[in-house]
Amino acid sequence: MIQTDSANHDSSLKVRKAELRDVLGVSRVCSDGWRDTYASIHTPEHIERVIYSLERISSEIDGPVDWDGPTYDWDGWLVAERGDGRLLGASGGGPTGERTWEVCVLYLDPNEQRRGIGRALLKAMTDQARARGASEQWVTVTAGNPQGIPFYEAMGFVTAHETDSPSGVKSLRMVRSIKP
């Protein structure tokens, strides 16, 4: 079990490594979070094309992944749950260099936002990153993302630069120092 800190609003909140039994919950949380986050940014067709399928999550529980690009040294999925076992959020990332670590995904159940869940998941990923020797943490956030940008800014990330995706959607590359 990954320990969460006192910043959590819910003392029954736990963050842990995902297991195969969590695939359905991770898919639900990420798909619902994706739909909620991007409804005003992407077309419905694009949103449904990128949904987090059971097959995708199953293949990513542990080990390296290849998302149409470089293979990340993926540290696996993390999940946040209450004492009743209901998954409230999921995240994952991994090292991209000797001292850099990427937050690849972090989604919450849309009905559970602003309750310390995202903060707890990011803390757990930061602990993973520091254990791997990282001193910088990076994330890519779609420009205009109404939940992601304010969250990452509140967590100390700053925009390093803007990029364009192949579909023409602008994204922000954000970074923060995670030196101990």
- Judged by average pLDDT, the poorest of 21-30, 37-46, 90-99 is 37-46
pLDDT tens, residue by residue, 46-70: 666 666 667 777 877 765 555 455 5
Q: Between the CA of residue 178 and those of 56, 74, 130, 131, 145, what are the distances in Å?
A: 29, 18, 7, 11, 23
Q: What is the pLDDT of residue 47?
A: 61
Q: How many Cβ atoms are within 10 Å of 59's Cβ, its own excluded?
A: 13
Q: Looking at the predicted structure, is the pLDDT value of residue 166 above 80?
A: no
Task: For 99, list phi and psi in degrees, rounded to 5.
Answer: -125, 10
pTM of the model: 0.84
Element (H, E) at 37: helix 23-38
